[in-house]
Structure 1
């Protein structure tokens, strides 16, 4: 698999139908052209490439409050510029960069659109309903991620005037094609349309390995995330509960304080991003160096930062402690063994190749938090507390319900507030932070809640980004702005 196999257009990017997924994880797409794709199986193979094979974790994590300037370490341009909230002068070929992620999202969108076009021309399109559902969900997801990074984050009060990103619904068949930036509200309307139309069509039986695609559980998890951003909490509950119709979500949570506690770092790496793990609802293969440098980036997690992140264990009481295993790679380079690199050789006998990371983009833990947050805002405090305690039972060392239960009284003591809803939501935010550390997820909560981020350089410069600061929005790639798309304000 060649991550450099990209066809650049002046605006977005036209994908190559010959981009193959790694045989270790995904089946390959047809080596023929669109004209010879004439069966549901071949369309399914094409759709293996309808997911962004670029990583967002490096820049999302570096922009968050999970990192500090360690003074020394791997000097990566994206890691550095993201921490400093400067425009990363990179290209679409630069692994882990915003530009590559933009390109990969639009490549994935174009593959989804090609699949939809093929299906529309089939004599009996009803035979392709599962493939149509996957294509619509994949298109919605890529646009959702793009608008979350490259536009002002969704706010119902301003979405109708905030600049969105191009929502592309047709295959790119020309090198130069003009697009326009409509509003964030428009993009969300289109995402919702694709989501609602595609989700009922998803069929797990159409996949060899469902977790490498939009299976039913992952599609409902995506819907719960989408409506959480829109603050439509009733819908969040509907879709979160649909992930586990039997209500047995607890047995799918990662067993950090039991099974995982006995694993070595190597074993954790081999476990965390596997399709066999119940907690993983959907995995996406990303071309990334993150697994290699996660602990070594200059702007990363040091021990003091981990103490700040993990402090939320005290919400459960003075004897509570998280079961997450903290390891170091040299002085002040800390990590929790999660995402690791797998290396794909350019050919069987080649000495060179490309690094990849399998990224869990939807997990059971996220669904649990989404449900807990929705219940908190709907004043269902007991239901929210039940989910938080379920989470704590899988995460705290030597967990004891008698000693470690999350209660209204404990939250009041910890936060110094009598507002039950506020305390519940702040607990969820704190628990999400520690659960998804070094996975890039913290940035979405920072944006959703308008949390201020402050970064202090080793030289003493303090960079503060309050809610509304234009630097919280990634700049469009140069190729897009040169073609006429309006750049984001700075």
Structure 2
């Protein structure tokens, strides 16, 4: 469910949806609260973060899910459309429509805060300006990576971007242009670079709920990794990780000892100090990727785990053991086959307790020390600083794996991945064919990337980040469906498939914005 007043507010600001109510059109086109004090600036910035998450659409689109089969009743039309890369026509809290709306609502609030700051002309609000800019950049970053092709130096000058909104709209029917992916990335970069020197932690009561200094630099590192600015990605990740990253990473052994139940395990996860930013979302992610029948038709199956992710060998061990936090949550009951990483709680906010209706909620951590370490490791590989990359990978592996040690050498990585066959439709493996728009050298660089991408795939399971790796590296994604326990390929997403750009919401297309090619 969705708050109707909030939906109308977003419709009103952007006119990207079709509105037919004559009474509504009779209203003044700008009835927002005037942001005319420092306190109001700070209050509106609380809403400069998306209330909806891209995670469900991204995860279900990626190679991190299988289809157990049509006989499994625990699914819905929305999920099926996402899993099979169809244009989504169904309404759901996790749907592309609400990802779009949530991001543009956040952008509207950031822009309103920026206008208020400018009008107040108060130098003491510089940190608030930094937060507004970095929040605006992040929401556009989500939008362009979901609804456009991935950035590259070959075609992004002409690939369709998303409207980049830099002012608070005051007209009823503004006209927007999608521009190009390159233009959107340039504007994101400008906002980030302007914001970073301004952000301070001392203005927040609870910094982890805001783009604090480290969360901002973690975002800047990921953005520059996607932007192919390897040096800057490394520089910004290092600002987050300091000289001793091992002291900042999650204590995976302690996490593995938490009671293996959804709420305590996920609560321990999001409350951990290794999280740089924590946000609440209207989303069913907690139940879909939880120990429930809901969503069990399309999930990270035990078969997928054994062939490609948690159950495969790694360079340092033929039986790479994870802390029990993972392996204890493999379900094989009738119609329930999920390999779970209980990192997101399933919460419910009642709007009408008598009728039993309300919002599915969850809490996620968009940026963590562990994932930022993987960003730096990949940047080091692309810079061919293999010793530095290995140090990062071993720092992560040694902390994450409970036997086998997680420690390896460059020679072991080369020998191991040279010996693993490339994944095909008939014989899926962890080693995907990499077809990025940038150059990857055969040999050590490619092998180090395979290892880095594999570790990140495991670390970020259920988060949706694997989808962006699928896009960035031009991975082919077969969709496996099980019939009599045997997987068959029912659809394939090719390396440069146009469906990797999620289609715009139908109402947005109807309002005149150019759709993605199909």
TM-based fold match above 0.5: yes
Deviation at 1:2, TM superposition (A): 6.0
User: What SS does the corresponding residue of 2:322 show, helix, strand or coil?
Assistant: coil
Cα shift readout 1:135-165 (whole Å, capped 9, x = no counterpart): 1001100101100011111111111111111
Q: Are the equivalent residues in 2 in contact too, given 1:313–1:322 (CA < 8 A)?
A: no
Deviation at 1:312, TM superposition (A): 4.9
2:452 equivalent to 1:428: yes
2:187 equivalent to 1:190: yes
Q: Aligned partners of 1:484 and 1:345: how far apart in 2?
A: 36
Partner of 1:299: 298
Q: Are the equivalent residues in 2 in contact too, given 1:199–1:216 (CA < 8 A)?
A: yes
- The more displaced of 343-352 and 220-229 is 343-352
Q: Are the equivalent residues in 2 in contact too, given 1:11–1:179 (CA < 8 A)?
A: no
- The more displaced of 2-11 and 407-416 is 2-11
Partner of 1:249: 245
Cα shift readout 1:379-415 (whole Å, capped 9, x = no counterpart): 2111111111111111111454xxx421122212211
Partner of 1:416: 418
Partner of 2:389: 384
Partner of 1:89: 89
2:134 equivalent to 1:129: no
Q: Aligned partners of 1:132 and 1:253: how far apart in 2?
A: 30
In structure 1, runs of 5+ residues without a counterpart are 15-31
Partner of 1:464: 492
2:502 equivalent to 1:474: yes
Cα shift readout 1:297-341 (whole Å, capped 9, x = no counterpart): 111111111112124552222253122423145432331211112
Q: Aligned partners of 2:481 and 2:446: how far apart in 1?
A: 32
Q: Are the equivalent residues in 1 in contact too, given 2:414–2:448 (CA < 8 A)?
A: no
Partner of 2:433: none
Q: Aligned partners of 1:319 and 1:432: how far apart in 2?
A: 18
- The more displaced of 324-333 and 107-116 is 324-333
Instruction: Map residues 189-228 of structure 1 onto 2, 5 A cutoff.
Output: 189-228=186-225
Partner of 1:362: 367
2:76 equivalent to 1:76: yes
> TM-score, normalising length from structure 2?
0.85
1:50 to 40, 48, 62: 48
Q: Are the equivalent residues in 2 in contact too, given 1:3–1:287 (CA < 8 A)?
A: no
Partner of 2:438: none
Deviation at 1:125, TM superposition (A): 2.5
User: What SS does the corresponding residue of 1:454 show, helix, strand or coil?
Assistant: strand
User: What SS does the corresponding residue of 2:314 show, helix, strand or coil?
Assistant: helix
* Pairs aligned (count): 462
Q: Aligned partners of 2:162 and 2:232: how far apart in 1?
A: 25
Deviation at 1:40, TM superposition (A): 2.6
> TM-score, normalising length from structure 1?
0.89
User: What SS does the corresponding residue of 1:344 show, helix, strand or coil?
Assistant: strand
- The more displaced of 259-268 and 456-465 is 456-465
Q: Aligned partners of 2:53 and 2:396: how far apart in 1?
A: 27
Q: Are the equivalent residues in 2 in contact too, given 1:314–1:321 (CA < 8 A)?
A: no
Cα shift readout 1:320-371 (whole Å, capped 9, x = no counterpart): 3122423145432331211112222337998543221111111111110111
Deviation at 1:372, TM superposition (A): 0.8
Cα distance change on mapping 1:303 and 1:312 into 2, 3 Å: closer
Q: Aligned partners of 1:58 and 1:2: how far apart in 2?
A: 17
Partner of 2:266: 269
- The more displaced of 226-235 and 453-462 is 453-462
Q: Are the equivalent residues in 1 in contact too, given 2:94–2:284 (CA < 8 A)?
A: yes
Cα shift readout 1:273-295 (whole Å, capped 9, x = no counterpart): 22xx1221112211011111225
Q: Are the equivalent residues in 2 in contact too, given 1:13–1:106 (CA < 8 A)?
A: no
Partner of 1:26: none
User: What SS does the corresponding residue of 1:236 show, helix, strand or coil?
Assistant: helix
Q: Are the equivalent residues in 2 in contact too, given 1:313–1:321 (CA < 8 A)?
A: no
Cα distance change on mapping 1:487 and 1:311 into 2, 3 Å: same
2:469 to 430, 438, 445: 445
Partner of 1:309: 309
Deviation at 1:11, TM superposition (A): 3.8
2:59 to 54, 58, 61: 61
Partner of 2:284: 289
Q: Are the equivalent residues in 1 in contact too, given 2:302–2:330 (CA < 8 A)?
A: no
In structure 2, runs of 5+ residues without a counterpart are 19-30, 420-441
Q: Aligned partners of 2:351 and 2:140: how far apart in 1?
A: 30
Q: Aligned partners of 1:286 and 1:3: how far apart in 2?
A: 14
1:397 to 402, 407, 410: 402
User: What SS does the corresponding residue of 2:470 show, helix, strand or coil?
Assistant: helix
Cα distance change on mapping 1:347 and 1:86 into 2, 3 Å: closer
User: What SS does the corresponding residue of 1:316 show, helix, strand or coil?
Assistant: coil
Partner of 1:143: 140
RMSD between aligned alpha carbons?
Answer: 2.2
Q: Are the equivalent residues in 2 in contact too, given 1:78–1:96 (CA < 8 A)?
A: no
Deviation at 1:177, TM superposition (A): 1.7
Q: Aligned partners of 1:471 and 1:244: how far apart in 2?
A: 36
